[in-house]
Amino acid sequence: YSYITHGVPSVGTISYNVTYTSGKGNGFNLVGNPYPSPIDWTKFLADNPTLQSSFYILEQDGSYHTFSSGSIPMEQGFGVTTSSSTTLTFKESHKTATDASLLRPFNPDDAPNSVTFTLSDNVNDYSCPTIISFGQGSVTEYDRHEDALYIKSPINEVPGLYTISSDNQNLCSNSLPSSNATNVPLKAVANVTGIYTITTNNLANLSAYDCICLIDSKTGAVLNNFEDSPSYTFTMEAGQQKDFIVR
C-alpha cells in the first residue's frame, strides 16, 4: 500500500496554548514539535520560562521518561509541565542540525552522580523508572529548574515508582544536595497483583556513595544493599502501595 499526503511544512513562529489548574495535573501538557526539523530543548526552554527544566516522552515500557537536554525529533510528541497557563512559542532559532531518534533522544542513566531505580513486575513488560541525582546547589524541595514531577502513565497496568521531596511533591527525577548520609522517601505503586522487582544498573555513576540501601520505612529494617545485589523482589496486590527509604 502507498500512503500519499500533501501539506505545507510549518515555518516561522508557532504558538501553542498550555494550561495550569491548581491542584490538578501538575501543569502537565502534551505538545509536539511542529517543524520538519529537530529542535534543541535548551533553546526552546530559554524562550519559554514557565516550563519545568525536564520534558517527558512516553516510552515503550509504558512510563514517561524525563530528559533535561538534547534534541526533540521532527514531529515528536512530548510532555511539559508549566507553572502557569501561558502560550508556548516555537521559533526558527530553536531548530538544530543535531538529530535524535524517536523516543530516546538522551539516556539519563549516563548522567554523572545519578542513579536510576526501575520498578517492574512479572505480569507484563511495563516498568517505571525514577532518578536520584546529587549536585552542588541542589535542594531537598521540588525545584522546577532541576527536578521533574512524577506523571502517572495513561496505561492502567503500568506500575508507579517515585521519590517524595521534602515539600511532599512526587518526583520522577530528584536532584539533591550531597551529604554524608541521605534518606530519600521512595514509593512503589502496584496496578496489578504480582511479584515486583526494584532494579538499578548504573550505581557506578554515583561516585559520592559506597553504600546504597533500601529501607522499610515502617520498621527501619534494611531490605537490600544495591552494592551487593542490584535488585530487590517483593509481592504486591493491585492497588497496594509500599513505602521505602533509599539511604
The pLDDT score that the predictor gives to residue 103 is: 53
> Which residue from 90, 246, 82, 86 is spatially nearest to 163, judged by alpha carbons?
246
Q: What is the mean pLDDT of residues 44-49?
A: 98
Q: What is the pLDDT of residue 159?
A: 98
Identify whether the C-beta of residue 71 lies closer than 8 Å to the C-beta of residue 40. Answer: yes
Q: Is the dihedral of CA 70, 246, 185, 151 positive or negative?
A: positive
The pLDDT tens digits of the residues spanning 55-110 come to 999 998 999 999 999 999 998 999 999 999 999 999 999 999 987 766 554 455 56
pLDDT in tens, 111-156: 778 899 999 999 999 999 999 999 888 999 999 999 999 999 999 9
Residue 182, C-alpha cell as written in the block? 541521605
pLDDT at res. 113: 85
Higher pLDDT, 242 or 103: 242
Residue 102 has a pLDDT of 63
Q: For the CA atoms of 246, 224, 187, 135, what is the dihedral angle to 10 degrees?
A: 20
At 178-217, the pLDDT tens digits run: 888 899 999 999 999 999 999 997 887 777 677 899 999 9
